[in-house]
């Protein structure tokens, strides 16, 4: 049986990293009043979520006019400490709930199966977190997530792999 957490009308949703480049942890964090949900994710998941959130926001603009600007949760974005992750997200979903007028970010501890019949929440193990946020909040999260991803180690011009401060052995120079 899955443990489901739903955070509606969040104060902020953040995608970021903590630690030194090469040793960073990537996190998604949502705040609603005194409640603080932190989920551990991979760098690639943050990059994909940020890119897809920006694409979804552009597509929504044509079909659903933008809600009035709300600056709540769109200011400077940083992971709040203590940030003890509740779980590691194995899969992340992104969608739009027109009834609520909010974007939803779904984080799952266990990935869904690729079978014909979708798994119900009652059949899955692990945590499922659904975060409902405004377009402005998701846009700010996407921008902060993109910035966190590129703020890591510099990449080698030849091979594209990250370079460690202690040195880099480029496979292209073999």
CATH number of the domain at 24, please. Answer: 3.30.2450
Q: Phi and psi (nearest 5°) for 143?
A: -65, -45
> pLDDT tens across 79-118, in order?
777 778 999 999 999 999 988 889 999 999 985 555 544 5
Give me the pLDDT at residue 68, please: 56
Over residues 53-68, the mean pLDDT reads: 82
- pLDDT for res 70: 53
Task: State the residue for tokens 């073999």.
Answer: 174
For residue 119, pLDDT beyond 60: no
Chain-wide mean pLDDT for the chain? 84
Range of the domain at 66: 3-173
Specify whether the CB–CB gap between 132 and 8 falls below 8 A: yes
Q: Provide the pLDDT for residue 100.
A: 86
pTM (predicted TM-score) = 0.79
Number of domains in the chain: 1
């Amino acid at each position: 049986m899955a443990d489901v957490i739903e955070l509606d009308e969040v104060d902020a949703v953040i995608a970021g990293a903590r630690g030194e480049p090469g040793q960073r942890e990537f996190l998604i964090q949502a705040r609603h009043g005194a409640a603080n949900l932190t989920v551990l994710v991979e760098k690639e998941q943050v990059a994909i979520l940020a890119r897809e959130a920006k694409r979804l926001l552009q597509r929504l603009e044509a079909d659903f006019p933008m809600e009035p600007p709300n600056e709540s949760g769109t200011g400077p974005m940083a992971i709040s400490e203590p940030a003890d992750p509740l779980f590691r997200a194995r899969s992340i979903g992104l969608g739009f709930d027109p009834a609520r007028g909010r974007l939803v970010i779904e984080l799952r501890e266990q990935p869904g199966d690729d079978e014909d019949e979708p798994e119900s929440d009652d059949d899955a193990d692990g945590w499922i977190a659904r975060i409902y946020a405004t377009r402005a909040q998701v846009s700010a999260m996407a921008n902060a997530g993109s910035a966190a991803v590129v703020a890591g180690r510099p990449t080698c011009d030849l091979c594209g792999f990250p370079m460690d401060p202690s040195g880099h052995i480029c496979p292209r120079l073999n």
